[in-house]
Amino acid sequence: MEIKKMNVALWIILLVYLSVVFYFTILSRESLDEHKLELLPFKTIVDFLNVDYDSHGQYILREVLLNIGLLMPMGGLLGFSSTLLRAGFMLQRVVLWGFLISLTIETIQLITKTGTFEVDDLIYNTLGCVMGYLILPKKENIKYNMLDLTTIILTYNEELHIRRCLENVCPISKKVYVIDSPSTDRTVEICKEFPNVEVVVHKYPGNQAEQFNWALDNLNIETEWILRLDADEYLTEELITEMQTKLPTMDADASAVVLPLGRAFHGKLLKHGIVKGVKMIRLFRKGCVRYEQRLMDEHLEVLRGKTITFEHQFVDDSLISMAAFTAKHNNYSNREAALLLDAEYGLTEAAGVVENQYAEEVAAKRKQKEKYAKMPLYWRSLGYFFYRYIVKLGFLDGRAGFEWDFFQGLWYRLLIDAKVAEARRLCGKDKEKMRQYVNNVLGVKL
């Protein structure tokens, strides 16, 4: 109630202010000429360009632009509309840049002793720059509407990422479940700071697919929609806006949403290489989707209904050190080597099968991996790096692009090939020996 009273009071003040501006700029041309109200920073610009500043129409237009630029962010900050605030971001930045340009021109005129320099204009534009920066709205002030959504996050020692992830999804999720493996760091402690987050401890069964399916079977999920997210991932502002616009009115036969995946490395969002065009199902209706049982690169399987694709992306942005990155990918390489050996020797019934019900992107990726598995060891790793870094223009992402393609596209693949070569050398074509190698040496349960 107190917040509502404050909102009303602030709006009354704004209306009074706008009424005064309206009187001086539109109803009283005489007052305009007499007082020369300068609420915009553009006077020095038009003076510098020798534009007729006395044009009443131009002056009114500039007045209106400024007041809209101030009013919209303030209205959004008061909680009236998140869309209003986002529009206010752009207008407010236009106003601030206007002050900066005007200040620059005033400074040039002062130094060169040209133009129509006035001290009061210099002071006015300097204050405008400072005030514009101070009142510039921050993204964290945007207020989103709560969706009929439950978010599920699988964690193990994710204190580095979990706060960023929860701050991202908690404002739009009625409930957030964190399935912990359990962690030995501050992951659970951080989760307790968020009122709509519940931590459920469940021992990690060996792969994310089984852990997530356990969550679907055992959690008390009361919402229509479920979002699956990793702790080192977040939704972009554009994706959140798209979700708020489309989810409430989604067709009843739409069961799952395919989301584009963005990749950041060392704090830089990569735009080239193989990171473009990657899409996966992460958002779905309750009871319509489950994870396939797979050693690695598990994907959600749609049980019924159709899938649709959203335009905006979520981002995988791991903040771990390079030491942790290489250790993590060494572990991944065990499972990837097991998958390749499985595809080559038929160690499990699922080897080589590509299910039609998966998204087209997943099916295409599986077929590419089947072809890759038949290529010569080591040469395929070099060719894959060349394709990513040169053909797909990964080098355009600079240092971050090189490190990502080198470590994840070459070093990681060479490590996998070395483990496959070792398995072939030690086990030959004996399937039973190969199974024992995968289980005992690689530590992967088939």
Instruction: List phi, psi (to 5°) of 115.
Output: 75, -160
**Angle at 77 (CA atoms; ends 74, 80), nearest 5 degrees:** 95
315, 282, 135: which is closest to 212 by C-alpha? 282
Which pLDDT value is given to residue 396? Answer: 93
pLDDT digits (tens, 9 = 90+) for 38-93: 444 444 444 444 444 444 444 444 444 454 445 444 444 444 444 444 555 555 55
Average pLDDT, the chain: 77
Topology classification of domain 145-317: Spore Coat Polysaccharide Biosynthesis Protein SpsA; Chain A (3.90.550)
What letter represents residue 66's amino acid? Answer: L
DSSP H helical segments within 173-258, as ranges? 187-191, 208-218, 237-246
Strands 306-309 and 254-265: parallel
* pLDDT at residue 110 is higher than 80: no
* Burial class of residue 134, CB neighbours in 10 A (0-12, 13-18, 19+): exposed
The pLDDT value recorded for residue 273 is 86
Beta-ladder partners of 430? none
User: How far is residue 436's CA from residue 430's CA, in Å, rounded to a whole number?
Assistant: 10
Q: Using CB atoms within 10 A of its CB, is residue 67 exposed (0-12), middle (13-18) or buried (19+)?
A: buried
Taking the model in full, what pTM does it have? Answer: 0.68
Residues 379-389 pLDDT 10s? 999 999 999 99
Give the integer Cα–Cα distance in Å for 316 and 16: 47
At 350 the pLDDT is 56
pLDDT tens, residue by residue, 378-416 = 999 999 999 999 999 999 999 999 999 999 999 999 999
Q: Is 224 left (phi over 0), alpha (psi -120 to 50) or beta?
A: alpha
Count CB-CB contacts under 10 A for residue 279.
16
Confidence class of residue 113 from pLDDT cuts 50, 70 and 90?
Answer: low
Structure confidence at residue 370 as a pLDDT band (50, 70, 90):
confident
The CATH 3.90.550.10 portion of the chain extends over: 145-317
- Please write the tens of the pLDDT for every residue from 172-219: 999 999 999 999 999 999 999 999 999 999 999 888 889 999 999 999
DSSP secondary structure code for residue 174 in this structure: E
Structure tokens at 395: 């080098």
Closest CA to 216 of 177, 247, 186, 170: 177
